[in-house]
Structure 1
């Protein structure tokens, strides 16, 4: 018997629908997962086997084939665990799908608990938008995804089975999009108490900050050490307006993909990377085409402190993204477009020693 459960895979910051097809037949007991899985997906068989047994079900001593379609899309992470486990239980006759079409996202622990996964919001959005039926999500998933009518939050595999069989209805979350809202900005997750109104002196620099915030213009603050360049750059974040509805949803999805769910959803993001940043760390790249700091700061502020210490090739990589507001990463057979409309502010000394003309 073949069973199909919908789920999704995270590509960059975007969730792509994936169909989990499970076939349980007679033969030598074995589990085979196909469809370009990475090591984390391949190891799911051990987590799922233990979770099924810990939840009071029987692991079928038959040949199990799991296909992750489309086959040409690389799959990574543990977000497929719950869908695969439900597919195995349904294909082996231990569970009946009564609640209609089912989609599931979540990683399973060995005792059957459902863990949240990075990017739960962008993973859930394509399933919720295409009306994939009941979408099962971890209880600790992003609040914005849980507020949808089709979303159901689950804590364990047993609870998920009860919902699929129509024996229980999981509670839905109430909107809590203002959670974590504070008075100060957050730099890479750390609170920063800098406000433009608290700055005394430097009227020319403050005016330049306001102009940059109004027109979203890149800005370079240059001067000797100790004049407050870094403080001024961080204070600019407080002058930026709150995000509107569409921008808030976009930034929330990006933050969820990066694991920054604790940030204030109403405020623009603020990123201050160290000067040893690589090209891939700034604009994105790597084997999985991972987003960089420019994408994490989308619709917000990216501060390049001590810009003279950055590598030249890293700074040169900003030319096109700053002009177009997007980053196009292309590799052999793969390409991804990432948002990069961040306001970039750099600070630096006039020379290497910082004491030019002083």
Structure 2
């Protein structure tokens, strides 16, 4: 019998000892903070389903950036909410689109702050889908066309890079999107701009509050023909492998909490930096429970973050980034 010679509790006897043998840690360098920008002036509107998260007009963006930089956060993920939408999402690739304007403003204020541009069409299309929609009158069926969508996504990525985006993060889940965007960036002279691929993005129910924030809910149907089936794990390997071959510089798993097995699977199979997206409903559920006094928000969020790291994530996109950064600072 190993007991009493082997006593695992010996290494848990004090906070200092636990810290000494801790296998995983979260640092401020692991955090990416999403920000929503919109047209207008003097806008700082809280998103009702995401307490503590706001829409910012460009003239109010600096106050948020000041806080982000003061906390030591190195990267933001930028989402745009346009004033006008059309069937082809043309404001996504407009030189003066909201994301492009915001990127230029951010880089003037804080050149060293990494701007990651979400590259998709859903916020910019009047139908809310992530690509070009074709309606077949004979079958009464609407389909999202893959290859024509790639052309618009390339235009969007190039416009974002031209505006100064440091990283392009395509989230559309069209087949071949990494290859098309890599080729388009290279041909436009942005061969040094990396691609953070939403490599494994599930058709999840955890996106509800985000669709409220980005005004991007589909006006018909759903996204199950291009986002992944939550029941599938092996398919995630095929999606990620395709993106690696096509030239991705980062791989992402979205959502995070219900897909930690997928994070671990990708970590074991690929050596690219691995990102997980702690998505909107994961955030809002914690906020709602904390408001009711049912949970300790700080303890729950800290445990979630270390769980993502333990599963194998290198980087965490989270609406809790400012909170976590502040707690880390207090601990030191």
- Whose RCO is larger (CA < 8 A, sep 6+)? 2
TM-score by length of 1: 0.24
Which has the larger share of helix? 2
Which has the larger share of strand? 1
TM-score by length of 2: 0.25
